[in-house]
Amino acid sequence: MGNITETYQTIAKLSPKKIAIHTINQQISYQEWDELINRTANWLNSLRSETKTIGILLPNGIPFLQFFAGASKAGWIAVPYDLKWNINELQKRTKLSNPSIIVTTRDIYAKINHIIPCLTAFDECLQEIAQFEPSPAVELDDDPSFYIGFTSGTTGSPKAFIRSQDSWVSSFDCNRFDFGLNESDQILIPGALIHSHFLYGAISTLYLGGTVFLCEKFSSSTILSWIESFPITTIYVVPTMIEALLKEGIQIDKPIKMLSSGAKWAEKSKIEIRQLFPNMTMFEFFGASELSFITVLSDRDGLQKANTVGKPCYGVEIQIRRPNQELANPNETGKIYVRSNYVINGYFEQSKRIINSIQDVHRWATVHDMGYFDDDGFLSIVGREQNMILYGGINIFPEEIEKVISTHPDVEEVAVIGLEDSYWGQVVAAVIKGKSNSLELKRFCKLYLSSYKIPRKWFFQNDMPYTTSGKIARAELIKQIESKVTRH
């Protein structure tokens, strides 16, 4: 059984003065960090709680990581909540996760404590925590659950998933074997800890004994300043951050690793960022909230296989299956199944206190992504099964079409959907946010797409509906467009 905090004591003994976390106005050593986590765990276990679940409604900072890691040390479950959620969205997620306490800022407490139960100001918690012993006093059960996250897919309706300690501790091997990270790394976390990409980056760094440089919020100028001022070796990013760095236009010559996830990193962007970071090493990894790491595209393979998402990560097995569950051949599209120790326990139903596993009897799991292996064993993603458009018996994946249209300079955002058609079954429709027109975009599509994949219908609007995670809510968008078609 592992625990994401199990290395802190050893690191604290070997390197007590080494900086564990560095923020813009605070530093904390590993000795201080180990003691803080022990105090926090002992405080939590002094509270009377049936659910042993703590909600974290905090901005980036040491307290966020303290309560997350402290909960893990105590055998509690941590539930990060997004500060950008409105009251209705927060209420849905607190109901799903049922925390016994939610730590937040005084300002937020004052605004919503009459609506959201169990709120407490974190500075009051810190005063109480300081009174507890700085040594561990908790014996944990085998592989307890420690983390509830939320996924909404394209519907906007949240689902809670629950993850075990071992799933993350096992996945820390990917940091070592796939990315070559170790205790000597100084890792910059520029994004919000509510997103698992950045939270994982921080927690895995602390487990390995490196130093976390934590930004309060994303700022491209701050990132560049920190890289130049501190011995940063690695930075976790998402592609939109890369675009922001490109706009700054400042060259950084020092060696640095970039670990990107969250969306496909465009080939054009990769080429441009290399000009600004000539000594950069790139790693792009593909994963899912439920499955964690799936594949990694290394710096070495990135140029030759830029349109793929790479090869399986350390400890990950992948199968591509036909609808009848037979294995697909190379270059044949099918559903992606994954087997690893990194998969979630399942979806959490608080009302019934049950966990619905997503794994079959042989431990294979899928989130219904569709893709194929090429002859060299590199995985390509073509889209989600639920988004697939059936046009006259032909399967069309909107993600492929969106990828093309999004490169047009006058398109800000695009979503491709299937609309019902009495003859074809479904026809391809494109919803565009931007300044272009349908004639220009059809001509553009002809340069890159087969004729049957070019949208038959085009809709232009000023705004798109989004899920709480910022993705386009396809189900809601289809309703909007269908209502337009019906009215006309």
- The DSSP code for 329 is P
> What's the confidence (pLDDT) of residue 469?
61
Q: If you compute the radius of gyration of the chain from its CA atoms, what whole number of angstroms results? A: 23
Profile the chain (488 residues) by mean pLDDT over runs of 10 residues: 90 97 96 97 92 95 97 95 90 92 96 93 95 81 82 67 94 95 97 94 98 95 94 93 90 94 76 90 91 91 84 97 96 96 90 86 94 95 85 85 91 90 88 92 93 93 78 84 74
Closest CA to 44 of 82, 96, 99, 92: 99
pLDDT at 487: 64
The helix-helix angle for 220-229 and 239-248 (nearest 10°) equals 80
Measure the CA angle with vertex 144, ends 141 and 147; round to 5°: 155
Beta bridge partners of 418: 428
Nearest to 96 by CA among 167, 157, 145, 165: 157
Distance CA 376, CA 355 (A): 38
The reply to whether 473 falls in a domain is yes
Q: Is residue 204 included in any domain, yes or no? A: no
Calculate the CA 266 to chain-centre distance: 18
Q: What is the pLDDT of residue 305?
A: 87
- Check residue 259 and give its pLDDT: 95
DSSP bridge pairs for 56: 80, 103
Q: Is residue 314 part of a domain?
A: no
d(CA 113, CA 116): 5
- Establish if 410 belongs to a structural domain: yes
CA angle 123, 124, 127 (to 5 degrees): 90
> How far lies 274's CA from each of 181, 242, 244, 269, 307, in Å?
21, 11, 14, 9, 17
CA distances from 386 to 257, 383, 396, 406, 437 (A): 35, 9, 11, 21, 28
Q: What is the pLDDT of residue 475?
A: 81
Residues with Cβ within 8 Å of 286's Cβ and at least 6 positions away in sequence, in order, are 261, 294, 295, 296, 297, 309, 310, 379, 381
Of the chain, the end-to-end C-alpha distance in Å amounts to 61
Q: What is the CATH number of the domain that holds 416?
A: 3.30.300.30
Taking the C-alpha atoms of residue 214 and residue 199, their distance in angstroms, rounded to an integer, is: 10
Structure tokens at 116: 């959201």
What are the C-alpha distances in Å from 4 to residues 135, 164, 478? 17, 10, 42
The Cα 228–Cα 221 span in angstroms is 11
The pLDDT of residue 325 = 95
**C-alpha triplet 293, 295, 297: angle, nearest 5°:** 125
Report how many domains make up the chain. Answer: 1
Q: For residue 460, is it within any domain?
A: yes
Q: Does residue 345 lie in a domain region?
A: no
Q: Is 435 part of a structural domain of the chain?
A: yes
Contacts of 99 (CB under 8 A, 6+ apart): 51, 53, 54, 55, 79, 118
DSSP string computed for 229-262: HS---EEEE-HHHHHHHHHH-----S-EEEEE-S
Residue 132, both tokens: 């507890």
What pLDDT score was predicted for residue 154? 46
Q: Give which of 380, 396, 400 is closest to 388, Cα–Cα.
A: 396
Question: Quick check: is 131 in a domain?
Answer: no
Q: Taking the CB of residue 472, how many other CB atoms lie within 10 A of it?
A: 19
Please give the structure tokens belonging to residue 242. Answer: 């890369």
Q: What is the dihedral of CA 46, 47, 50, 56, to 10 degrees?
A: -120
Please tell me the distance from the alpha carbon of residue 282 to that of residue 262, in angstroms, as a whole number: 15
Parent domain of 419: 388-487
